Amino acid sequence: MTPRPLRVAIVGSGPGGFYAAEALLASEAPRVEVDMIEALPAPFGLVRYGVAPDHPKIKTIIARYEKTAEHASFAFLGNTEVGRDLSVDELRRFYDAVVFASGAQTDRRLGIPGEDLPGSYTATEFVAWYNGHPAYQDRVFDLSCDCAVVIGQGNVAVDVARILAKTTDELAQTDITAQALDVLAESKLREIRMVGRRGPVQAAFTPVELKELGELADADVVVDARDLELNDASRAEIEVLKWRDARKNVDILREFAARELAGKSRRLVIPFFRSPKEFRGHELVLEHNALSGEAGAQKAVGTGVLETVACGALFRSVGYRGIPIAGVPFDERAGIIPNVEGRVVQNGAPVAGLYVVGWIKRGPSGVIGTNKPDASETVKHLLADAPSLAAAPEPSREAVLELLASRGVRVVSYAQWRAIDAAEVARGAAAGKPREKFVDVDEMLSAAGGPNAAPQKRGPTVGGCK
């Protein structure tokens, strides 16, 4: 390699991308220059568009990412989409290495009849909508029915159920969008059911998140004590395999089951051992399950007993998956970019210069902090590979910006994002909210200011997607 800094592009600006940037910028030999390329004008991905608005503490991690963004060798290229504005081949012209940090942007499917009927929604779109993601603002959620069902018992399902069950007073001073708050204010829901296919010991939610469901201002939490009778294998999971969260979850659920109804306006019901079989637009058919298999590997097996529940709004929250990027290998089954410890591979062989971090590397698991060791692992390999990487033929930020300008792409810098940020905070202040997010890209670009504050006009694009 030449003595110039190693030029690395990071595609995506969520936690994985920012932890990768932090680790790369800490390197002294080689020195590294990072360009973070983000499709939206705003950074932070999952922290901004995934974390629930009523969990502001989790968002304080942004302060750490801001420090990274202040580094002299860091640049943010917002409003720039790889695959639309720049191809992966072009990235390789400008960068010695590319790290994909694009997350898991779509949902797993249930594969049941009626899944696509009106009234059936994915957690992905609901969460992105209430968090103000511009691509999801056209979604319409009809909450004029009595009963909504959330399928899945992970922490995303808990977020969805909690947001549906909360009063607008509980949400009004969060950064939920004004539009979402208006829709939720009109909600006629009386019952929200968060349904799991296995038992309380196998549920994916964590105790802190579960406990919160018992603290809602105007929703009683309801658990059937019969669901908490554990089979031998489930007891072994707690006692022999020492599943600590499961033990805590069961204790919390027992306390919920023992509660009297307090006569609140809504009920948040947590049924176990049920799988969705068919959605009919106004009702959902569930099959009762039993557990089968050894401790640690118990599966839900249908018993043939069916139950039909009223359900005018179905929220599917059964896990996320990544989406492919043109020019990069993709594992369709797992929904990730295939890799070995962060080095992208194709048919088992490494693809020189391409790396992955975060959910597009390992699938949608773990908390935000999990992405730190995950990114360190990838960066360690990238830096070890650096001497043998083919040097980029045009290793210049100016060259990338010129190409993007020639295509009419209005690149948003970090300073411009700060202007958007300040405008959002100012908009929120009047309503006592931490911010009122812009939900429209052109509005964000206007707030970004700068020499070219008019809505963008895009020129030729790559990949023909737009």
Q: Which residues bind ligand NAP (CB under 6 A)?
A: 110, 151-157, 159, 196-198, 202, 204, 209, 275, 317-320, 364-367
CB of 320 vs ligand NAP, minimal distance in Å: 5
> CA-to-CA distance for 147 and 266, rounded, in angstroms?
10
Residues 6+ apart with CB under 8 A from 7: 32, 33, 35, 94, 95, 96, 97, 392, 395
Q: Are 221 and 270 in contact (CB under 8 A)?
A: yes
* Residue 21 Ramachandran class (φ > 0 left, ψ -120 to 50 alpha, else beta): alpha
Residues 6+ apart with CB under 8 A from 123: 107, 150, 152, 156, 157, 159, 160, 315, 316, 317
CB of 108 vs ligand NAP, minimal distance in Å: 6
149 or 404: CB nearest ligand NAP: 149
81 or 159: CB nearest ligand NAP: 159
CA distance between the termini of the chain: 37
CB of 61 vs ligand NAP, minimal distance in Å: 12
Residue with tokens 């950074």: 43
Q: What strands lie across the sheet with 32-37, from one edge to the other?
A: 74-77, 32-37, 6-11, 97-100, 349-356, 343-346, 339-340
Q: Are 231 and 292 in contact (CB under 8 A)?
A: no
66 or 245: CB nearest ligand NAP: 245
Helix (H, G, I), strand (E, B) or coil at 452: coil
CB of 95 vs ligand NAP, minimal distance in Å: 30
144 or 365: CB nearest ligand NAP: 365
271 or 319: CB nearest ligand NAP: 319
CA angle 204–130–375, rounded 5-degree value: 55
25 or 204: CB nearest ligand NAP: 204
CB of 311 vs ligand NAP, minimal distance in Å: 14
CB of 231 vs ligand NAP, minimal distance in Å: 15
CB of 401 vs ligand NAP, minimal distance in Å: 35
35 or 159: CB nearest ligand NAP: 159
Name the phi and psi angles at 364, rounded to 5: -80, 85
DSSP calls for 353-394: EEEE-THHHH-S-S-GGGHHHHHHHHHHHHHHHGGGSPPPSS
CB of 79 vs ligand NAP, minimal distance in Å: 27
> CA-to-CA distance for 339 and 343, rounded, in angstroms?
5
CB of 62 vs ligand NAP, minimal distance in Å: 16
Helix (H, G, I), strand (E, B) or coil at 174: coil
**CA-based radius of gyration for the chain:** 23
Return the residue nearest ligand NAP (CB atom).
Answer: 154
Q: Are 20 and 362 in contact (CB under 8 A)?
A: no
Q: Are strands 343-346 and 6-11 parallel, antiparallel or unpaired?
A: unpaired
CB of 113 vs ligand NAP, minimal distance in Å: 14
3 or 304: CB nearest ligand NAP: 304
Q: Are 161 and 187 in contact (CB under 8 A)?
A: no
CA 408 to chain centre: 29
CB of 2 vs ligand NAP, minimal distance in Å: 41
